[in-house]
Chain A
Amino acid sequence: MSETVREKKLYGLTAEFDSPEALIVAAEKIRDAGYRDIDAFTPFPVHGLTEAMGVKRSWLGWLVLLGGVLGGSGGLYLQYWINVIEFPVNIGGRPFFSWPAFVPVIFECTVLGAALFAVFGMFGLNGLPRPHHPIFDAEGFERASDDRFFIAIEAGDPCFDFEETRRFMNGLQAMAVTEVYSDDV
Chain B
Amino acid sequence: MSEHENIKPVDDLGPLIGPDYTYSSVGDKVSSIALGGRHPLPWFVVLGFAGLLVGLLFFSITFLIAKGVGLWGINIPVGWGLAIINFVWWIGIGHAGTLISAILFLFKQDWRTSINRFAEAMTLFAVACAGMFPLLHLGRPWLFYWIMPYPNTMKMWPQFRSPLVWDVFAISTYALVSLMFWYTGLVPDLASMRDKATRKVQKIAYGIFAMGWRGSARHWHRYEIAYLLLAGLSTPLVLSVHSIVSLDFAVSVLPGWHATIFPPYFVAGAIFSGFGMVCTLMIPIRKLYGLEDIITTRHLNTMAKIMLATGLMVVYGYSMEAFFAFYSGNGFERFMMHNRMTGPYGFFYWMLIFCNGLSIQLLWFRKVRTTPLMLWILSIVVNIGMWLERFVIVVTSLHRDFLPSSWDIYVPTFWDWALYVGTIGFFLFNIVIFVRWLPIISIFEVKELIHKNKHARRSHE
A interface residues with partner B (beta carbon < 8 Å): 20, 39-46, 49-50, 53, 55, 57-58, 60-61, 64, 75, 78-79, 82-83, 86-87, 89, 98, 101-102, 104-105, 107-109, 111-112, 114-116, 118-119, 121-123, 125-126, 128-133, 135-136, 142-147
Q: Which residues of A contact B324 (CB under 8 A)?
A: none
B206 to chain A, nearest CB (A): 11
Q: Which residues of A contact B181 (CB under 8 A)?
A: 115
Q: Which residues of B contact A122 (CB under 8 A)?
A: 184, 222-223, 225-226
Q: Given A78-B149, A111-B173, A119-B230, does the pair A126, B157 have CB atoms closer than 8 Å? A: no
Q: Is the CB of B225 within 8 A of A61?
A: yes
Q: Given A44-B447, A111-B236, does the pair A118, B215 have CB atoms closer than 8 Å? A: no
Q: How far does the alpha carbon of A79 sit from the alpha carbon of B183 in the complex, in Å?
A: 31
Closest 8 pairs (CB-CB, A-B): A129-B211, A122-B226, A147-B23, A40-B217, A142-B195, A147-B24, A45-B220, A104-B166
Nearest CB in chain A to that of B162: its residue: A101
> Does chain A have a CB within 8 A of B451?
yes
Q: How far does the alpha carbon of A78 sit from the alpha carbon of B188 in the complex, in Å?
A: 37
Q: How far does the alpha carbon of A89 sit from the alpha carbon of B163 in the complex, in Å?
A: 17
Q: Which residues of B contact A133 (CB under 8 A)?
A: 212, 214
Q: Which residues of B contact A105 (CB under 8 A)?
A: 160, 165-166, 169
Q: Which residues of A contact B173 (CB under 8 A)?
A: 108-109, 111-112
Q: Is the CB of B224 within 8 A of A45?
A: yes
> Does chain A have a CB within 8 A of B2?
no
Residue of B157, B158, B217 with most partner-chain A CB within 10 A: B217
Q: Is the CB of A44 within 8 A of B218?
A: no
Q: Is the CB of B192 within 8 A of A145?
A: yes
Q: Given A58-B221, A61-B229, A104-B244, does the pair A43, B211 have CB atoms closer than 8 Å? A: no
Our pick among B180, B195, B217 for the contact of A119 (Cβ within 8 Å) is: B180
Looking at chain B's contact residues, the main secondary structure is helix
Our pick among B180, B223, B237, B447 for the contact of A43 (Cβ within 8 Å) is: B447
Our pick among B165, B192, B237 for the contact of A111 (Cβ within 8 Å) is: B237
Q: How far does the alpha carbon of A101 sit from the alpha carbon of B169 in the complex, in Å?
A: 13
- How many residues in B have their beta carbons less than 8 Å from beta carbons of A? 60
Looking at chain A's contact residues, the main secondary structure is helix
Q: Which residues of A contact B445 (CB under 8 A)?
A: 44
Q: Is the CB of A86 within 8 A of B157?
A: yes
> Does chain A have a CB within 8 A of B422?
no
A146 to chain B, nearest CB (A): 5
> Does chain A have a CB within 8 A of B155?
yes
Q: Given A43-B23, A118-B230, A132-B212, does the pair A126, B223 have CB atoms closer than 8 Å? A: yes
B253 to chain A, nearest CB (A): 15
Residues of chain B in range 307-345 having any CB-CB distance to chain A below 8 Å: none
Q: Which residues of A contact B192 (CB under 8 A)?
A: 43, 145-146
Residue of B161, B184, B234, B444 with most partner-chain A CB within 10 A: B161
Nearest CB in chain B to that of A23: its residue: B217
Q: How far does the alpha carbon of A112 sit from the alpha carbon of B177 in the complex, in Å?
A: 7
Question: A128-B211, A145-B213 known; 20 other A-B pairs, CB under 8 Å?
Answer: A39-B216, A41-B217, A42-B215, A42-B220, A43-B192, A43-B447, A44-B23, A44-B447, A44-B451, A45-B220, A49-B217, A82-B157, A104-B163, A104-B169, A105-B160, A105-B166, A111-B236, A126-B222, A146-B24, A147-B27
B75 to chain A, nearest CB (A): 29
Chain B 167-178 near chain A by CB (<8 Å), digits 1 or 0: 001100100110
Q: Is the CB of A111 within 8 A of B233?
A: yes
Q: Is the CB of B244 within 8 A of A136?
A: no
Q: Which residues of B contact A125 (CB under 8 A)?
A: 222
